[in-house]
Amino acid sequence: MNDKGLMWTGGAGAVIAAICCATPVLALLLPLVGLGAWLAAADYVLVPLLLVCLGLLGIGLYRSRCHAGARAIKNTESV
């Protein structure tokens, strides 16, 4: 996966996980329609998902900066 793909995947996943971390709101609304039991393991999935997606975003940013630095050095050598 290229750098932009890593950044898009990490950013989109982090946003989705952050939105889903509104578990207190869901805990109030879902039991009203009979889906309260579905939330039993939601926190065990969302926090690791958020951390993994932020890690992907960080790796993509790090790799893009490394490649940008290498390109800058290569361009100054050819002048």
The string of pLDDT tens digits covering residues 11-28 is 887 777 777 666 666 667
Higher pLDDT, 27 or 5: 5
Contacts 24+ apart (CB under 8 A), 16-25: 16/53, 17/46, 17/49, 17/50, 17/53, 18/50, 20/46, 21/46, 21/47, 21/50
pLDDT at residue 5 in the model = 79
Mean pLDDT, residues 50-74:
78
pLDDT at residue 17 in the model = 72
pTM here? 0.52
